[in-house]
Homo-oligomer: A and B are copies of this chain.
C-alpha cells in the first residue's frame, strides 16, 4: 500500500515484472495541456531494456497506450491511464530461483512481509515497475515545460571510481544522449563503457552516481516543514530500486566547509534576487530560490550477478545461487531518464501546490 506518489499531481503505478502489463494512473494533471503519446514514448525508449550492449538484453518495445484522460490532443483534467504490455517474459529463467532468496534482492523481505510473492521475476521490486514512473514523468515534464520552461537533465556523473568533470550549468541533453552510458563527457564516457563491459564479461556488476540539474526553476516550490522540496526529492529518489544515497547542492562534501565558505551571498542580477554561489543547490529552507536545482543519487552495483553466491532457501537451508536471467551490469544508463522522471514528478506536484499556497 504505497503505490501512490504526490499530493496534487498524483501518480499510481501498478504491475509486476512478469504479470500481463505495467502501467500508471496520473490524477491531477491540469486540463488542456497539449499531450501526445509520442512524448511519453520518447522517454520510455530511453528507459527501454535492450537499447544497447551495456544494458539488459530483455527485449521490450514498451509501447505506451494512453487509455483515458486525453482527448483530441489535450488533457481533460481526468485521470490519465497509460498501459504497457509485458512481452519478452522468460519466466522459466526464474524457476531455479523460485525457492531461494537472491542476495541483496527483495525476495526475502517480500516473502517475509507478504507471505507470498510472484517468483517469476522481481515483481514490484523489479526495475520494470519504473515504466509507469517514466510515463508519468513525461507528462510532468511537459507540464513544467509549458508552464515554466523548466528543463531537467540527468547524466551519469560517476561509474565505480570513474568520475566525469561536468559543469551542471552548461550540460546539454543532446550531449547526454550522444553515448550509451549517458555521460556527457565523451572521454570519460568511453572509459565508463569499457569498464562496464569488462565487469559484465566477468559476470559482475557496478554502481555509481547520477547527477541532475534543473534549470529555469520556478521560485517558491516546496511546502515546509515536512514537504520541503529537498525532502520530497529525497523520498522520490530513494524510492528507486538500487538507490542508496541522495544529496543536494554541496551535500556531504559541504560538511567540511565553514559557514563563511559555504553560505551563498545574495546579489541582484537583472532585477532579480540571485545567489553568487549555489552551494544550496537551488533550495533554501525547503523552498526553491530560482537557482539551478542540483542533486546527486548513489546507485549500488546491481544485485544480480553471474557468479556463485551463498544464500538460503525458503525453508532456511543453506544453498548457492548463480543467476542466469538477463540483467543490467550497471543500472545507471537506464536510470538517467528514471531519475529525471522522479524529479519531474516532484516539481510538477509542487508547482501545482504552490499555485494554491500563494493564490
Of B21, B252, B301, B358, which one neighbours A115 at CB under 8 angstroms? B358
Shortest CB distance A322–B (Å) = 12
Stretch with Cβ within 8 A of B (4 or more), from A41-49, A98-106, A165-173: A98-106
Interface membership of A352, Cβ < 8 A: yes
Shortest CB distance A221–B (Å) = 8
- In the bound assembly, the distance between CA atoms of A208 and B10 in angstroms comes to 35
Shortest CB distance A136–B (Å) = 11
Interface membership of A77, Cβ < 8 A: yes
Interface membership of A141, Cβ < 8 A: no
- In the bound assembly, the distance between CA atoms of A75 and B14 in angstroms comes to 13
Residues of B within 8 A of A106 (CB): 224, 284-287
Shortest CB distance A268–B (Å) = 5
Main secondary structure of the interface of A (DSSP, over half): mixed
- In the bound assembly, the distance between CA atoms of A71 and B264 in angstroms comes to 28
One digit per residue, 1 when the CB lies within 8 angstroms of any chain B CB and 0 when it does not, for chain A 11-40 equals 011111001111101011011100000000
A245, B252: Cβ atoms under 8 Å?
A: yes
A252, B209: Cβ atoms under 8 Å?
A: yes
Of B20, B77, B227, which one neighbours A68 at CB under 8 angstroms? B20
Of B104, B205, B275, which one neighbours A280 at CB under 8 angstroms? B104
A67, B21: Cβ atoms under 8 Å?
A: yes
Residues of B within 8 A of A261 (CB): 301
A32, B115: Cβ atoms under 8 Å?
A: yes
Of B3, B74, B161, B232, which one neighbours A116 at CB under 8 angstroms? B74
Stretch with Cβ within 8 A of B (4 or more), from A53-61, A118-126, A178-186, A333-341: A118-126
A244, B239: Cβ atoms under 8 Å?
A: no
A114, B238: Cβ atoms under 8 Å?
A: no
A207, B286: Cβ atoms under 8 Å?
A: no
Of B68, B235, B262, which one neighbours A301 at CB under 8 angstroms? B262
Of B81, B105, B117, B357, which one neighbours A113 at CB under 8 angstroms? B357
17 contacts between A and B (CB under 8 A): A2-B222, A4-B226, A13-B79, A19-B69, A30-B359, A104-B280, A124-B225, A147-B359, A160-B258, A209-B255, A226-B239, A231-B239, A235-B238, A241-B285, A244-B254, A254-B301, A262-B300
